[in-house]
Amino acid sequence: MSDKSNDGNGSTATEVPKGLEGVVVADTAIGDVRGEEGFYHYRQYNAVEIAEKRTVEDAWHLMFEGKLPSKAERDSFSEEIRPLRSVPDQVKKLLPAVATAGDHFLPLDALRTALSLCTFAYDFHPSLDVDAEELRGQAMRVCAIVPTLVTSLYRLSEGQEPVEPSDDLPYAANYLHMLTGEEPSAEQAGAIEQYLISTIDHGFNSSTFTARVITSTGADLGGAVVGAIGALSGPLHGGAPSRALDMLDAIGEPDNAETWIRNAIEKGERIMGFGHRVYKTNDPRSLMLRDVAERLGGEQYEFARKIEDSVLKVLEELKPGRRLRTNVEFYSGVVMNSCGVPRAMFTPTFASSRTIGWCAHVLEQAADNRLIRPAARYTGPPPPEPVPDPE
């Protein structure tokens, strides 16, 4: 569509495709996705290469400071993060109530509630009223606290005590340590590190856009990240990895795969872990995570490989020309499962790393802000109709 409609000010506005597909809404130096090529990058680096060669802290530094750290910068960055990982006392005592507030534990609901409490306790002010250095400090705090919050809330929901962050462990190993209470093997920590780095940022996805819209109003950084968590919780965005494993369970045996998948598509259902708005070829994250899953090995990986082949075959037949491929969610579930991350924690683990990307976008938006306020095409009965008198 390219016709014009009213923008609410009486002037005309340009119409864009539903879902804003392909519409450029901002400038960013943080990264981008090239869907046709199956490539995405963090600043000038291939994101997969960063995930294969660097640590979460290095990638975080790259996102915030615009460059990979030197040895000295890495040390001081890690030193800065370390004390920010502890939950403030006034929030710590509220976490058991947050974790057990509902009949079922909903980790992202619990996270956004707890993060909101934290940023309230930290006394964050509207981004419009704080300078760039203070906003960066707030972003550091939020990225550091989210892993502690998600793991603490999960443990509390399971009737276990939270595990304090370890002074000796870097981000990825510490994440598994706070989740399980045990120090992970180097292999598990390395696998989760690759997953975490590969999910830090991914173009102008829905939750990143949400964070930028909220920041554009001048609201505080906590509000932007809490809103982004809400966007991420949707199954069409971040809520799919456990659903992909649920599908593997439901299929049960490789021989059932084709019939199961065919039935699901014929009923109009989506196969979780497949399809992407931007990638029309292989999602590079799924290729990398498939390699990670292969390295970790196990029956589930072997089974997932077979099911992937069946899904792709059936999608090709029943949805020809849609170019549907495996997305990040399919093998991330397999990788996290192999590393001892429970299903309920798949999306929260994604949220932990993505918080770094959201915060980098908040900083960028705030540094060169204009209120994001688009328009909609009115499709209701023509106004103004006289308001009837009450009966």
Q: Edge-to-edge, what's the strand order for the sheet holding 31-34?
A: 31-34, 39-42, 45-46
Length of the chain: 391
The reply to whether omega before 384 is within 30° of 0 (cis) is: yes
Cβ-contact 37, 175 below 8 angstroms: no
Residue 276 annotated in active site: yes
In the numeric block, the tokens 């909220």 are attached to 214
Interface region with ligand COA, contact rule CB under 6 A, candidates 61-69, 133-141, 268-276, 382-390: 268-276
Interface region with ligand COA, contact rule CB under 6 A, candidates 5-13, 163-171, 263-271, 290-298: 263-271
Q: Report residue 204: phi and psi, to 5°.
A: -95, 55
Amino acid identity at 275? G
Amino acid identity at 267? K
Subset of 16-75 contacting ligand COA (CB under 6 A): 19
Closest approach of ligand COA to the CB of residue 312, in Å: 11
Amino acid identity at 246? D
Q: Give residues with Cβ within 8 angstroms of 327, minimum separation 6.
A: 273, 274, 275, 276, 279, 283, 285, 286
Subset of 270-309 contacting ligand COA (CB under 6 A): 270-277
Interface region with ligand COA, contact rule CB under 6 A, candidates 88-96, 107-115, 154-162, 265-273: 265-273
Q: Which is nearer to ligand COA, 118 or 345 (CB)?
A: 345
Cβ-contact 198, 289 below 8 angstroms: yes
Q: Per-residue x/- marks for ligand COA, 182-221, CB under 6 A?
A: ----------------------------------------
Interface region with ligand COA, contact rule CB under 6 A, candidates 155-163, 170-178, 287-295, 327-335: 327-335
Q: Which of 59, 115, 288, 324 binds ligand COA (CB under 6 A)?
A: 324
Interface region with ligand COA, contact rule CB under 6 A, candidates 54-62, 212-220, 267-275, 355-363: 267-275
* Bridge-based pairing state of the strands 12-14 and 31-34: unpaired
Contacts 24+ apart (CB under 8 A), 98-101: 98/153, 99/152, 99/153, 99/154, 99/156, 99/157, 100/156, 100/157
- Closest residue to ligand COA, judged by C-beta, is 275
Closest approach of ligand COA to the CB of residue 338, in Å: 20
Q: Which is nearer to ligand COA, 141 or 361 (CB)?
A: 361
Q: Is 327 in the site for ligand COA (CB under 6 A)?
A: yes
Cβ-contact 200, 353 below 8 angstroms: yes
Q: Give residues with Cβ within 8 angstroms of 159, minimum separation 6.
A: none
Q: Which is nearer to ligand COA, 77 or 274 (CB)?
A: 274
Q: Which is nearer to ligand COA, 324 or 339 (CB)?
A: 324
Catalytic position from the list 276, 308, 361, 364? 276
Tell me, what DSSP letter sits at residue 274?
B
Residue 329 annotated in active site: yes
Subset of 133-162 contacting ligand COA (CB under 6 A): none
Closest approach of ligand COA to the CB of residue 285, in Å: 9
Q: Per-residue x/- marks for ligand COA, 71-110, CB under 6 A?
A: ----------------------------------------
Q: Which is nearer to ligand COA, 6 or 256 (CB)?
A: 256
Whole-angstrom distance, CA of residue 219 vs CA of residue 227:
11
Cβ-contact 229, 354 below 8 angstroms: no
Catalytic position from the list 193, 308, 329, 364? 329
Q: What is the DSSP string of 301-351?
A: HHHHHHHHHHHHHHHHHHSTTS---B-HHHHHHHHHHHTT--GGGHHHHHH
- 229: closest CA among 306, 337, 297, 145? 145
Q: Which is nearer to ligand COA, 268 or 388 (CB)?
A: 268
**Residue 22 token pair:** 């392909």
Closest approach of ligand COA to the CB of residue 143, in Å: 22
Q: Which of 240, 288, 292, 336 binds ligand COA (CB under 6 A)?
A: 240
Q: Which is nearer to ligand COA, 267 or 370 (CB)?
A: 267
Q: Which is nearer to ligand COA, 69 or 333 (CB)?
A: 333
Residues lying near ligand COA in the complex (CB under 6 A) are found at 19, 236, 240, 265, 270-277, 319, 322, 324, 327-329
Active centre residues (catalytic) = 276, 329
